[in-house]
Every structure is written in structure tokens, then in C-alpha cells.
Amino acid sequence: MTAPTTTTEQANDEIAALRERINAADDELIRIWRERAELSRQVGAARMAAGGTRLVLSREQAIVDKFRRELGTDGAQLAMLVLRAGRGPL
């Protein structure tokens, strides 16, 4: 059996530092999630105020396709949640 290359204390320090970065990334994701939902709501309101539709399915499909291309099947699922956050459930 090979000896460990780091001590438990070193590993704990590294994990604590990485978790700080994860927490910062999560905060950013939450901020961006809220920002996008608000922008989407504003687009919907502007379009409906001009007599247009609340939804544009071709645009939503393009967004789902982009997320799938970039992130795979989970990305497509994520896009559905992202879209729902802005315009509400279908």
C-alpha cells in the first residue's frame, strides 16, 4: 500500500478552500438565475403590452437546443427550469 501524499489536516484545508469557491459559485448562480427570470418577465410584459403573445416557442426551442448542445441531456432539463422561472409554468 502506498503512503498518503497529504495529511488529513492538509486535505481538510483544501476541502474548506474549495467549498468556499463552491459557495461563491452557488451565490453567483442564484444571482444570475434571478436576473434572467426578471429579464424574461420584462420581455414578456413588453410584448404583451404591444398585443403580442406571452410565449415564443421557437425562441424557447432554440434556448433548449443551446443548453442541450453545451451541457447534454441534463442541460435540456435545466433549460426547461430556467424558462419556467421567467415565464411561469406552461
List of residues contacting ligand ISJ (CB under 6 A): 40, 43-44, 55-56, 59-60, 63, 83, 86-87
**CA separation for the pair 41, 84 (Å, rounded):** 10
Q: Using CB atoms within 10 Å of the CB of residue 89, give its burial: 0 to 12 exposed, 13 to 18 middle, 19+ buried.
A: exposed
Number of residues written out for the chain: 90
- Provide the minimum distance between the beta carbon of 59 and ligand ISJ in the complex, in angstroms, as a whole number: 4
C-beta closer to ligand ISJ: residue 1 or 90? 90
Of 27 and 35, which has the nearer Cβ to ligand ISJ?
A: 35
